[in-house]
Structure 1
Amino acid sequence: MTGSQAHGDAYVRATLEAIVAAPEEFPREVDPRLGLYKTFHAIWSSSHLEDTPSIGGGGQEAIAQARLARLTPLPRQALLLTALEGFTVDDVSYLISLEPDEVEGLVEEALSEIEAQTRAKVLIIEDEPIIAMDIETIVRDLGHEVTAIAVTREDAVREAMADRPGLVLADIQLADDSSGIDAVKDILTEFSVPVIFITAFPERLLTGERPEPTFLITKPFQRSTVKAAISQALFFDEATAPV
């Protein structure tokens, strides 16, 4: 949210110190979690710390830093608070002292900035036609290309080999009783690609055999959740990282 782990740690320390030093100023008219974030934002917005992250390290940290260097701070914060922290638009409106429509605009701005960095080919593995169409619409609305919609493990592997995707969105229970997990494992033996499982059977991924790198969304899903997960998965993908 702040642009780097070091800055985030510094803001958290400053927030806790401010609450301890002046507990009477802590917002008590709202949920404590909202009060905590409100205090955090007040410190963050008034800070003179350099917000642009330095590029260093390796792996996902370096990729994230490269992405964050290209996001403007307030849209980034609005996106993370709504999509990842689970706050409503009205909550975020309170937290950052803006009107709800302004918050929505900031979220769209952040998504647009990320989407511009992360164009990708997407393979959808889903046997329910209506759900597949909904997911396809979400993917295309984000500016990505859908290479194919596969309904079985065999179809999925064949399509992945025919046109290598930059992201896989997979159900677990497929049309012929084959497994989306097995399909993903087959694909990952050939090349690395980020995967998002969208399933009504999340417990099947909690067995210790979960293929990596993967994300999990439980059905029924919110379109905003799928959009955020796609953006996050591609955000940390080396193949689309800024150079």
Structure 2
Amino acid sequence: MLDPGQKRRRILVVEDEPMVAMSIEMLLEFAGFESAGIAATVEEALKLAAQGGYDAAILDANLAGVFSGPVAEALGAAGAPFLILSGYDSEQQRERFPPGTVILQKPCRPDAIIEALRAFLPAD
């Protein structure tokens, strides 16, 4: 639960499937986070990433058939922690993203997403 004086962490959601994106937003809200916006394409994600205003990101590895690597690079350059959600085998994805990147294979347990975010964003 969120303490009354505690800042809600803002999470950028990069996901091309509208129902999945909405489910992630609801999960974030339930867990005490706040959505910093949803991007469904690499272009939208790069624009939102450049604007800032988020503490971490959840990034789909494949956005409508386009590899989301440029978004991961932009997030990394900004120093923003992120995790990858992928419908592909996570071992195949490991070589596509920086070492140490958290990769969760879809479908994944909602608590796995929240646990990963909390590991990135320890309480103040």
Residue 11 of structure 2 aligns with which residue? 122
**How far 1:113 moved relative to its partner?**
7.0
Structure 1 residues not aligned, in runs of 5+: 1-111, 236-240
Q: 1:126, 1:151 within 8 Å by CA — same for their partners in 2?
A: yes
Q: 1:147 to 1:113 in 2, by over 3 A?
A: closer
Q: 2:42 aligns with which of 153, 156, 165?
A: 153
Bigger relative CO (Cα 8 Å, ≥ 6 apart): 2
Residue 80 of structure 1 aligns with which residue? none
**How far 1:186 moved relative to its partner?**
2.2
After the TM superposition, which parts of structure 1 deviate over 6 Å for at least 4 consecutive aligned residues?
none
Q: 1:124 to 1:192 in 2, by over 3 A?
A: same
Q: Secondary structure at the match of 2:84?
A: strand
Is 1:142 equivalent to 2:59 in the alignment? no
User: After superposition, what is the alpha-carbon deviation per residue over 1:34-69, rounded to whole angstroms, capped at 9, x for unaligned?
Assistant: xxxxxxxxxxxxxxxxxxxxxxxxxxxxxxxxxxxx
Note the 1:165-180 alignment, pairs <5 A: 165-175=54-64, 177-180=65-68
Q: Secondary structure at the match of 2:66?
A: coil
Is 1:131 equivalent to 2:23 in the alignment? no
Q: 2:49, 2:74 within 8 Å by CA — same for their partners in 1?
A: no
Q: Does 133-142 or 180-189 show the bigger shift?
A: 180-189
User: After superposition, what is the alpha-carbon deviation per residue over 1:163-214, rounded to whole angstroms, capped at 9, x for unaligned?
Assistant: 3311110111102x2222221112322x10111111112234321x522663
Question: How high is the sequence identity, in percent, across the aligned residues?
Answer: 25
Q: 1:171, 1:197 within 8 Å by CA — same for their partners in 2?
A: yes
**How far 1:224 moved relative to its partner?**
1.6
Is 1:225 equivalent to 2:105 in the alignment? no
Q: Secondary structure at the match of 1:197?
A: strand
Kindly indicate which of the two structures has a greater share of residues assigned to helix: 1
* Cα separation, 2, equivalents of 1:221 and 1:136: 15
Q: 1:172, 1:181 within 8 Å by CA — same for their partners in 2?
A: yes
Report the count of equivalent residues: 122
Instruction: Kindly name which structure, 1 or 2, has the bigger radius of gyration based on alpha carbons.
Output: 1
Q: 1:214 to 1:113 in 2, by over 3 A?
A: farther
Q: 2:45, 2:71 within 8 Å by CA — same for their partners in 1?
A: yes
RMSD: 2.3
Q: Secondary structure at the match of 1:169?
A: strand
Structure 2 residues not aligned, in runs of 5+: none
Q: 1:194, 1:213 within 8 Å by CA — same for their partners in 2?
A: no
Q: Output the TM-score relative to the length of structure 2.
A: 0.83
* Cα separation, 2, equivalents of 1:224 and 1:170: 16
Kindly indicate which of the two structures has a greater share of residues assigned to strand: 2
Q: Secondary structure at the match of 2:13?
A: strand
